[in-house]
Chain A
Amino acid sequence: MNIPDELFYTESHEWIRIDGDKGYIGISDYAQHNLGDIVFVELPDIDIEVNAGDQFAVIESVKAVSDVYSPLSGTIIEVNENLEGSPELLNEDPYENYIAVVAFTDISEKEKLMSAEQYEAFCIEEDKK
């Protein structure tokens, strides 16, 4: 399982890469593996405001529909339109292919997210369930 050190993670298996006052959001390797073949991504509208924990996108695999939640509060300022034509990119490289970019408003919310080390332990626990 690939869990890059420099990212922060949620219990709903999103990651966020902090870059200045923006955050790139995607889903983890663990998430894409468990979803299986991803065949559709519903991207959010630009400029919508989200709170940490709000659902903002939808990913559909062959068998299942899954919501994607924002790790931080802010405004969605960019989406990865490549995913509309090629949703399988999330399976092929879930860390290179972000879903959206959030201009976050409160960096202190980051304290509630997991580090790579914490997330790895969390996934191991999930697998035991």
Chain B
Amino acid sequence: MGLKRTKLYDMHVKYGGKLIDFGGWELPVQYEGILKEHHMVRQKAGLFDVSHMGEIEIKGQKAEDFIQFMVTNDVKVIKDHQVQYNIMCYPDGGVVDDLIVYRYSPDYYLLVVNASNTDKDFDWIKQNALNAFADLSIENVSDQYSQLALQGPKAQEILQKICNIDLNDLKYFWFEPSVSVAGVDCIVSRTGYTGEDGFEIYMKEQAPLVWEAILKAGGEDVVPIGLGARDTLRFEAKLPLYGQEIDKDINPLEAGLGYFVKLNKEDFIGKDALLAHKEAGDGRVTVQFEMVGKGIPRSHYHVEKNGVNIGWVTTGAFAPTLNKNIGLALIDSKFNENEGEFDIIIRDKKIPARIRQGIFYKRNK
């Protein structure tokens, strides 16, 4: 079978990572334990290997117009060295992937996409670049890059010790394309997937050296973090995951990501379907809920109201920082009322839950 390994594989072994098959990649689900790692990121800092993420480079004169046509957010509002969260849709509004757009210049962008979608995304982008955009250079450069994420309230203090720029000047969702981190040339962005302050660091070589330098610089304030805590951290901060909150059958409006869908910008793939969806004003909606009864909601559990199925849980979990069982559910919008109750079906039992705003984690800034 042969699982793919990132360039940090030896580090995962060295630090005692419990390795699993994650979509064809051999990656650590945890080192010392998911809860301990989760709390470290909220309280101090954690270091993640996210080298499995895909990177696609788009270069050429019409790069900006092309990306504007491919994604739902308005890429024309971001400036050079700015980063933007984005969603790429099919014509029917279903989601191809969610992604981060890095703008070097109007002629040069780097797209960072989900690992499991990289090949699909690359094919989709290439297909749509025929004709009017045939002159663009579109390259899947995923194999060239390693990616680390350093996240948590101590992230800046730690990274500052080993990099050659003043991180106070790097604002949220901006990047610097060439930073020396422990002597290695890196892209550094102030971004992340945990709900904390932090950085994502891309390098073409010497990834283990940078990994070790960050752990050394952080001392007791930083530990390696596995995919288990990556999921609890992102979920607790209500950050969506492709395949759960969004996928080819769940459009971004249904997922509650309308903020990233600019229906008043020029034409983009999926615009007509999303406009029609919005105008119809019915259908499905994602709601946040907390458990009233005892039980942990999990992905795909059914949601019922008065014994009738009204949807399913997209993600649910024990939220470690909040210390409660919460979830997101995609339900028939008729049943979306604040404080409204429904049942989560857990092992054939109806366990009551309540829709409630403001239950997810928000860091104090």
Contact, CB under 8 Å: B347 / A62? no
Cβ-neighbour of A40 out of B33, B228, B232, B296 (below 8 A):
B296
User: Which residues from B are CB-within-8-Å of A39?
Assistant: 35, 296, 318
Count: A-B pairs, CB below 8 Å: 35
Contact, CB under 8 Å: B294 / A62? no
How far, in whole Å, are A39 and B232 apart by their CA atoms in the complex? 13
Asked if A65 meets B298 with Cβ closer than 8 Å, knowing A36-B228, A39-B318, A58-B347, the reply is yes
Contact, CB under 8 Å: A37 / B298? no
Q: Which of A40, A58, A62 has the most CB of B within 10 A?
A: A62
In the assembled complex, A78 has its CB within 8 A of some CB on chain B: no
Q: Which chain A residues in 12-54 approach chain B with CB under 8 Å?
A: 36-37, 39-40, 42
User: Which residues from A are CB-within-8-Å of B317?
Assistant: 62
How far, in whole Å, are A62 and B33 apart by their CA atoms in the complex? 10
Contact, CB under 8 Å: B29 / A63? yes
Asked if A62 meets B298 with Cβ closer than 8 Å, knowing A36-B228, A40-B318, the reply is no
In the assembled complex, A84 has its CB within 8 A of some CB on chain B: yes
Q: How many residues of A contact B (CB 8 A)?
A: 11
How far, in whole Å, are A40 and B296 apart by their CA atoms in the complex? 8
Asked if A37 meets B35 with Cβ closer than 8 Å, knowing A58-B347, A62-B228, A62-B317, the reply is yes
Q: How many residues of B contact A (CB 8 A)?
A: 17
In the assembled complex, A60 has its CB within 8 A of some CB on chain B: yes
How far, in whole Å, are A65 and B347 apart by their CA atoms in the complex? 10
User: Which residues from B are CB-within-8-Å of A65?
Assistant: 296, 298
Closest B residue, CB atoms, query A43: B294
Asked if A62 meets B318 with Cβ closer than 8 Å, knowing A36-B33, A36-B34, the reply is yes
Closest B residue, CB atoms, query A91: B33
User: Which residues from A are CB-within-8-Å of B30?
Assistant: 36
Closest B residue, CB atoms, query A87: B318
How far, in whole Å, are A7 and B349 apart by their CA atoms in the complex? 34
User: Which residues from A are CB-within-8-Å of B320?
Assistant: 62
Closest A residue, CB atoms, query B231: A63
In the assembled complex, B295 has its CB within 8 A of some CB on chain A: yes
How far, in whole Å, are A76 and B34 apart by their CA atoms in the complex? 32
Asked if A62 meets B34 with Cβ closer than 8 Å, knowing A36-B228, A39-B318, A40-B318, the reply is yes
Contact, CB under 8 Å: B295 / A62? no
Contact, CB under 8 Å: A84 / B318? no
Determine how close the nearest CB of chain A comes to the CB of B1; give it in whole angstroms. 15
A-B contact pairs, 14 of them (CB 8 A): A36-B30, A37-B33, A39-B35, A39-B296, A40-B294, A40-B296, A42-B295, A62-B35, A62-B228, A62-B317, A62-B318, A63-B34, A63-B228, A65-B298
Apart from A36-B228, A63-B29, 13 more pairs, CB < 8 Å: A37-B34, A37-B36, A39-B35, A40-B294, A40-B296, A42-B294, A42-B347, A58-B347, A62-B34, A62-B35, A62-B317, A65-B296, A84-B294
